[in-house]
Amino acid sequence: MTTKRRIRSVPKRPEDLGDEAKSVIAVLAVAALWATRFEGGWASVRQFGEYGLYLGDRAERESLKAAVRRGLRDAARLPDPPMIESQRTKERHPVTDRLLKDDDRRVREPIPLAIQLWVLRDGGRYLAPELWREFIASEFRPALTLQEVNAGLEETVARTLLAQGEHDRAIGHARTALERLNVARQRRPLLLVLATALMRRGSRTDWREALRRLKQLDMDDVVLVDHSDRVTQARVLVALGYARFFLGLRGKEPAQLKDRERAARIRNMLAEASALTSDLSPGDRGQIANLEGLLLKWEAQVETSPQGREELYGQAERYLRQALTLWRLAHDAYSLGAALYNLGELQFSRYQLHRGFGQESEIREALLWYEASIHYTETLGTVREWYLDHAKASECLALLVPCLVDSGRLEECRTAIAQAERYLGTGQQHVAPDSFQANLFARVRQLLRSTCEHHVH
């Protein structure tokens, strides 16, 4: 007696799978696309049961695990199947608190295009409705009203003026536009531009207003409707982190407990900003990397252990170089110049050049970055409001004078002094009197004069 074997048809598309397999793939695909909800793209057995609609008796764990295995087995028969990874779960038993003997799973990137398209089109039929609604809301919603369109255009105008270095016009335009807007969701991006422009203009009054506005934006109880709201909130946190760093932490040596607590709060803001959305632009990610580098540089400056100090400087340099790369990819000319300057500042601080330490090679390493910043911005004529690189390059050249005189390189010494004078003259004509920058230029000019008097006859 012979038995006929049942021949299973081979699915050609995700649509051809059964409801059970579709539910498994829908959970995995959403987990891969929604990293802010599913850490690392991993989905646990509990999450399969909570979010997948057609997975048998979801209250019975072994039945649920068997349904997940069957769904994965069926999906593996697709012409372009998803590659599935597994790892021991980190979830614990709700009663015994022991690690469960389960495996979490995720789709290894890249996700097959057919599955991505299918889940965005039909995934809602196989997922818990509340999860699907939240996932769809996490995407970018199109502008629905003329007022919303106009608010976005006003923000773009203010940001364009800011990119052109027109700080007064950017601030004035943002203030005028805000008077015409009464919807909190539409006001937030413009308020953020206003605060950014105030910090870029840079007076003490501006900084105080910017900090006040950023604190209020962070405290507002807002509903994040879509990804554009998440991006705005992430940018608010990063801008607030910068304001708190420059107003409350930079230059604080030696470190007090409150300073370290302030640094930890700023770092938490950066972590929260990164967790809000995976859609931050390279420019925004450069801002996060740059501020992390500045925090690490400050921690290195106040570190008492030589080994720990050098390790922190090494970490800071990696973050600042990462910011440099991200801003280059973003074609952010203003920030790219700032990155070059920050790398010069890192080396200046690392070798304690401000205390008269450092060998000639170390002075030249810092000088290289400062002069790269000067050359870059002057060659391209990029907009700038800070000329600190001119002063710091002059300071490095002044510190080189004793090295050049001691080694008998007098002609090179005269060239260095002339170059330092040129940098001071060029930068100082753009600096407001009685400003922080003016004080720096005056100090460096005095250093250059006293160094020449002592070493050059």
What value does the mean pLDDT take over residues 185-191?
95
pLDDT of residue 90: 86
The Cα 217–Cα 213 span in angstroms is 6
pTM reported for the whole predicted model = 0.72
Q: Give the pLDDT mean for 419-442.
A: 90
> Phi/psi zone of residue 141: left (φ > 0), alpha (ψ -120 to 50 degrees), beta?
beta
- What is the pLDDT of the chain when averaged over all its residues? 89
Identity of the residue numbered 96:
T
Kindly tell me the burial class for residue 325, based on how many C-beta atoms sit within 10 Å of its own C-beta (0-12, 13-18, 19 or more).
middle
Which pLDDT score is estimated for 364? 97
List pLDDT tens digits, range 70-85: 999 999 999 889 999 9
The residue among 139 and 117 whose pLDDT is bigger is 117
Residue 212: pLDDT band (50, 70, 90) is very high
Yes or no: say if 105 and 31 are a contact pair by the CB < 8 Å rule. Answer: no
> Beta-carbon neighbour count of residue 236 at 10 Å?
26
Best CA proximity match to 26, nearest among 118, 150, 156: 118
CA distance 41 to 294: 30
pLDDT tens track for 233-266: 999 999 999 999 999 999 898 889 999 999 999 9
pLDDT at 202: 83
The pLDDT value recorded for residue 116 is: 78
> What span, in angstroms and rounded, lies between the C-alpha atoms of 196 and 207?
9
Distance, in Å, from the CA atom of 195 to the CA atom of 221, rounded to the nearest integer, reads 19
Vertex 180 angle, CA 176 and 182, to 5°: 130
In this predicted structure, the answer to whether residue 63 has a pLDDT above a threshold of 90 is no
Helix (H) or strand (E) holding 455: helix 436-455
Residue 1 CA: distances (Å) to CA of 4, 6, 7, 204: 10, 16, 19, 95
Give a three-class secondary structure readout of 306-331.
Answer: HHHHHHHHHHHHHHHHHHHHHHHHCC
- SS3 call for 125: helix
Sign of CA dihedral 45, 49, 51, 52: positive
Per-residue pLDDT, averaged over 275-303, amounts to 90
Average pLDDT estimate for 319-346: 94
- Looking at residue 1, its pLDDT comes to 46
Q: Over pLDDT 70: what percentage of the chain?
A: 95
